[in-house]
Amino acid sequence: MTIAAKLLTADDLWNMPGNGEGYELVQGELRPMAPSGQDHSSIGVNLLIPLGAFVKEKKLGRVTTADGGYLINRTPDTVRAPDIGFVRSDRLPNGRSTLKYFPGPPDLAVEIISPHDVYADVDEKVREFLDAGTRLVWVVNPRRQSVTIFRNDNTITALRPTDTLSGEEVLPGFSMIVSEIFS
């Protein structure tokens, strides 16, 4: 006899100790997210500070860190937490951040590859974001000091350290040299 595992919901995840911190929910199943090292965190800050300042100055929306979850699929529920996320103001309920997980995908999702990440898992996460409606996904690769841009029109661009990372239509006017992310 086979016993089916109970699929969890976004509410189940939220009601866990620490609101499910340290986990993502993928099609109703818990997936642990191991803490990343200091290099990973520093790279995130190098991107988060200019991105956050730009969004705040232009009043474009909200930027989230790795503990900001996005409910990107229902039945079964999927809650993903990109290392950095951005949601436009016009998509925020009443123009404000939500108490719980954001009900939908971010407009921009940033994933920074950790030493323990499996590339297939990163690819899965990118695909889930794009399928849910995320317009732009940046995958930051510290080992190669590169950024790969995935768009919802299925185009992909790889950037080297001397290239300029742009916010494109999602964050018009935002840009920075890729090497600045790793300095």
Least confident of 19-23, 147-151, 158-162, 172-176: 19-23
Q: Is residue 3 predicted with pLDDT exceeding 70?
A: no
In Å, how far from its chain's centre is CA 171? 15
pLDDT digits (tens, 9 = 90+) for 106-122: 999 999 999 888 889 99
- What's the chain's average pLDDT? 92
Residue type, 120: A
pLDDT-derived band at 20 (thresholds 50, 70, 90) equals confident
Q: Is residue 1 predicted with pLDDT exceeding 70?
A: no
Residue 70 near residue 85 (C-beta atoms within 8 A):
yes
- pLDDT for residue 102: 93
pTM over 0.85: yes
pLDDT digits (tens, 9 = 90+) for 34-76: 777 888 899 999 999 999 999 999 999 999 999 899 999 999 9
pLDDT digits (tens, 9 = 90+) for 160-169: 999 999 999 9
**Which is higher by pLDDT, 58 or 5?**
58
In the chain, the percentage of residues whose pLDDT exceeds 90 is 71
pLDDT-derived band at 4 (thresholds 50, 70, 90) equals low
State how far the alpha carbon of 96 is from the alpha carbons of 6, 20, 60, 93, 99, in Å: 33, 22, 12, 6, 9
pLDDT digits (tens, 9 = 90+) for 126-161: 999 999 999 999 999 999 999 999 999 999 999 999
